A and B are shown apart, each in its own frame.
Chain A
Amino acid sequence: MTSTLSRLRGDPQARLGFAFAGTVLVAALLGPLAAPQSPLGLVGPTYGLPGAGTLLGYDYLGRDVWSRLLHGGRSVLWMSFAASVIALAIGAVIGIAAGLSKRWVDHAVVWGTDVLLAFPDLILVLLVVSMLGREPWLIVLTVAVSFVPGVIRLARGVTLGVVSQEYVEAAKLMGYPWWRIVLLEILPNISTPLLVHLGIMLTWAIGMLSGLSFLGYGVAPPAADWGLMINENRAGLMIQPWAVLAPVAMIGFFALGTNLLAESVSRAGSRIAVRKGVKSRARTLMRGNKRRLREQQARETRS
């Protein structure tokens, strides 16, 4: 694991991803402390442009966009983290269990995930939210449930790959208890793909939660929230674009950052170096051509 970490530190892509995601995270967590205005106070003109005393102008009710931006990240970030982690935990347990159990249990789990996967994520969440209400914990749970089938499929697949390895069979032959086999032999060897999937789920969750807020099913106004801000101010996009573009940029940067990070973790985990094959072949070719030229010249001078 240490070598994976040191590999990550040296990877420029991982650093970039860390910088993006980290900046947005810090802004969202510490932002409320640094905000110059209240996120709810009507302090300026409607759709007022950036100027003295206001970094990003005012929104459709005359609230300070910069202050709302700094306040609006917490809800979407904690909800997406919570949803992804819950989905990972539930999915990993079911997936590993399916990979280890008898054939018919495994089949049943796979069929179940197929049914759930066939149902569109966003529609499912919208259905639950419109029926049961828009409490944050409910939204988190439904988003998590919509992610679980993907985690199950992944965890089951990598578990099957590891279970067929001979060291797991050796542990079974020795008669080690099942929990030791799962915790010591299987889990450490499937953790990398699961962590990568966590990063990808985080990106999806942010997109989905912002989408929910945009559609009016997420955080209730007048609270500050990036997705909600996009929806509220879209009518004034041509007059005061910053009120829309600023939250869009925050969501975009965070999604990009987590994605880059997840990708480099997966690369470091599988120890894939940057491919040199094409380049080297080109170089061999070049050398061949050079030599041919040289030999031709030698022949010409001789004759």
Chain B
Amino acid sequence: MSVVPFVNAVLQVRDLSVTLGDGPEIVGDISFSVFAGEIVGVVGESGSGKTSIATALLGDARAGAVIAGGSVFVDGRDILALDEDERHTMRGSVVSHVAQDPALALNPMRRIGSLLDEVLRVHLATLDKAERHARIAEAASDVGLPASAEFLRRFPHQLSGGQQQRVLLALAVLLRPRLIVLDEPTTALDVTTQARVLTTLRDLCRTRGIGAVYVSHDLAVVRELVDRVVVLYAGHIIESGSRDHLFDNPAHPYTRGLLDAVPDISGRHAVRPIGGHAPALQDRPEGCAFAPRCSLRSASCSIRPPLRDFGDRRLVACHHPVRGKREDTAAPSRAPAFAEQQALAVLSGVSASYGANQVLFGVDLALPKGYCTALVGESGSGKTTFSRALVGAVEDVQGTFTYDGRVVPLSGGRDIDLRRRIQYIFQNPFRALNPRQTVGQILRTAVLHFFPIRSADADREVSAVLERVALAPELASRYPRDLSGGERQRVAIARALICKPELLICDEITSALDVSVQAAIIDLLRQLQRESALTILFVTHDLGVVRAVSDFVAVLQHGTIVEHGSVGNLLDRPEHPYTRALVADSPRLRETAA
């Protein structure tokens, strides 16, 4: 494709490609530009090459990767053609980077003031102390941090996550760069903090005329923030265009599929997963990389489609672009009145603490039988402690727990039958399965532990449960390392299901997964619930997921439940100020229906 060299573009990437050593291409044919004051979102699922592009914009490649070709013009100079010293000077002063996890990006042994001061001393050696202080004060006020001497003397661990991210942002804008590259800067933050950081970022780019590249997997955040979007799939740009065009009339089937897969807080929609999974680096197909998962594929898809103009400054790489507006299919929600509910588990006055630090303060919650209750709260609200207390994994806990009509001790020993009836699924599928056991061994151990059956019957149970979670029975002989994240989480769900539980506790089980995979897991949970009338406690911080998966919601703040109700009522008409703030700050993918 031909790129007209824009005079006022702060960033212009042309035919960039990054390879793994001399081997396969991680990203290829990447061309896009960013203007002053504009924010461009680079969107893709894990493994699509987002971070490789972000680091290449600074003229760097991760260990093992090589920038194989193309050019990256930042403010008119090709950063890839410079030598190392010149690149050092450009980084920070012309182009700067904001990392994903602020807790890891800041040196814990340095004070905030000295971190900021160092950047100025290295890049602008001519400034004296007073001038440096003035610059620091300016940058701090730009990002909404106090510039008091007391604040600058603090260490990173004395700041909140949002403040740490602001410090990174201040470091990035301190030298008044023309371009900031942000690599998922808000994934580690709570929604409220995230909303504030995003507002700061937007204002900063507008008022200072800084161009920004915002790399993210979170479509809702991208929609709230950016002006234009570039969508990546398997290392190539498959669609780019202005935000409104892309979100309202996506042309590429993948973009459409991705938007259909995202659960959204603003209304209940059927969440449709994309079948299959993204190809690994070595097995990317010759032609269109998305073709194997695409419902519109034809013979012509065996040739890779070039990025073509689709009108309105939009580019699409597809042989069968879709025209027209994207419509959501509404999904019915079912949540009869509380009075009709029969509670499977009732918890009252649950208090828990770790040492001197009390986490839960007299929580009352009833889990209606056969329904999914979501437990929502920000990090540190005590939601994980509460869910772990249900399975008896918290030591210092008081309160009463009535399960199916009988009182059960919250801490201490439990009989084997209760352990079977309440199953817990962990957040991180990469740590929840023993790497030295095959999938079959993991599932067999569980079923033989709870049921007095013969070995051959256990094997039959294993294949049956794998089928229920939509995995091939052949997977039983594989080790967890051979599976993708979504497949591992299915195995973890299978381990719970094979015990024939009544109550399933899901602790943020989709937060480590990609959107299209998350949609498939949500789909699976809903289907399992319909089939076997499971009661589910779904712990999450994502209100979009709550809308998609649950019937009831309880909102937890500082260890107490502040609001509890059916999902429709609570999200559409929140009453408690905290719930209102949560709902208002959650990024939305669609305009509010109201």
Contact = CB atoms under 8 A, between A and B. Distances in A.
B455 interface: no
Q: How large is the interface on B (under 10, 10 to 19, 20 to 34, 35 or more residues)?
A: 35 or more
A11 interface: no
Given A166-B428, A291-B81, A173 B391 contact: yes
A66 to B, nearest CB: 47
25 contacts: A165-B431, A166-B428, A169-B426, A170-B424, A173-B391, A173-B393, A173-B419, A174-B450, A175-B416, A176-B449, A184-B434, A184-B437, A188-B437, A189-B434, A189-B435, A276-B64, A277-B62, A277-B63, A280-B65, A281-B60, A281-B61, A288-B80, A288-B81, A288-B83, A291-B80
Contacts of B499: 174
Interface of A: 1, 165-167, 169-176, 180, 184-185, 188-189, 275-277, 280-281, 283-285, 287-289, 291-292, 295
A167 B434 contact: yes
A186 to B, nearest CB: 9
Given A166-B428, A284-B59, A288-B81, 9 more contacts: A167-B431, A173-B392, A188-B436, A188-B437, A275-B63, A280-B64, A284-B61, A285-B83, A292-B82
Nearest to B71: A291
Nearest to A1: B436
Interface centre among B59, B81, B391, B445 (most CB of A within 10 A): B81
A1 B84 CA distance: 43
Given A174-B446, A280-B63, A167 B81 contact: no
B176 interface: no
A74 to B, nearest CB: 36
Interface centre among B62, B391, B434 (most CB of A within 10 A): B434
Given A287-B67, A295-B81, A276 B424 contact: no
Closest 6 CB pairs of A and B: A277-B63, A188-B436, A166-B426, A175-B419, A166-B432, A167-B434
Contacts of A281: 60-61
Contact of A288 (B82, B419, B434, B436): B82
Interface in B418-455: 419, 424, 426-428, 431-437, 445-446, 449-450
B419 A289 contact: no
A289 B82 CA distance: 7
A287 B416 CA distance: 65
Contacts of A176: 445, 449
A285 B436 contact: no
A167 B433 CA distance: 5
B414 interface: yes
B377 to A, nearest CB: 20
A287 B427 CA distance: 44
Contacts of A295: 81
B66 interface: yes
B495 interface: yes
Interface centre among B63, B424, B428 (most CB of A within 10 A): B63
Nearest to B441: A184
Contacts of A170: 424, 426, 432, 495
Contacts of A292: 81-83
A173 B60 CA distance: 45
A187 to B, nearest CB: 9
A31 B84 CA distance: 59
Interface string B468-500: 000000000000000000000000000100010
A169 B434 contact: no
Contacts of A185: 434
Interface in B52-83: 59-67, 80-83
Nearest to A293: B81
B426 A289 contact: no
A296 to B, nearest CB: 10
A47 B273 CA distance: 85
A283 B68 CA distance: 9
B83 A174 contact: no
B21 A280 contact: yes
A227 to B, nearest CB: 40
A285 B82 CA distance: 8
Nearest to B425: A170
A178 B391 CA distance: 18
A292 B61 CA distance: 19
B445 A276 contact: no
Contacts of A276: 21, 63-64
Contacts of A287: 67, 80
Contacts of A169: 393, 426
B431 A166 contact: yes
Nearest to A186: B434
A284 B67 contact: yes
Contacts of B434: 167, 171, 184-185, 188-189
Contacts of A167: 431-434
A295 B71 CA distance: 13
Nearest to B422: A173
Interface in B36-62: 59-62
A280 B19 CA distance: 10
Nearest to A165: B431
B466 to A, nearest CB: 18
Given A170-B424, A173-B393, A176-B445, A277 B64 contact: yes
A170 B499 CA distance: 13
Given A280-B65, A284-B61, A289-B83, A175 B414 contact: yes
A110 B495 CA distance: 36
Interface centre among B393, B414, B445, B450 (most CB of A within 10 A): B445
Contacts of B495: 170
A288 B60 CA distance: 12
B87 to A, nearest CB: 9
B101 to A, nearest CB: 19
A189 B481 CA distance: 14
Contacts of B64: 275-277, 280
A185 to B, nearest CB: 6
Contacts of B82: 288, 292
A173 B424 contact: yes
Contacts of B446: 174
A280 to B, nearest CB: 5
Nearest to B442: A167
Interface centre among A171, A184, A281, A288 (most CB of B within 10 A): A288
B95 to A, nearest CB: 16
Interface centre among B83, B416, B436, B446 (most CB of A within 10 A): B436
A283 B64 CA distance: 11
Contacts of B81: 288, 291-292, 295
Contacts of B445: 176, 180, 184
A283 B66 contact: yes
A165 B63 CA distance: 27
A254 B392 CA distance: 52
Nearest to A280: B66
A235 B76 CA distance: 77
Nearest to A169: B393
Contact of A174 (B61, B435, B449): B449
Nearest to A168: B434
A196 to B, nearest CB: 17
Contact of A175 (B436, B437, B449): B449
Contacts of B435: 189
A135 B61 CA distance: 61
A185 B414 CA distance: 21
Contacts of B60: 281
Contact of A284 (B66, B424, B431): B66
A295 B449 CA distance: 71
B459 to A, nearest CB: 18
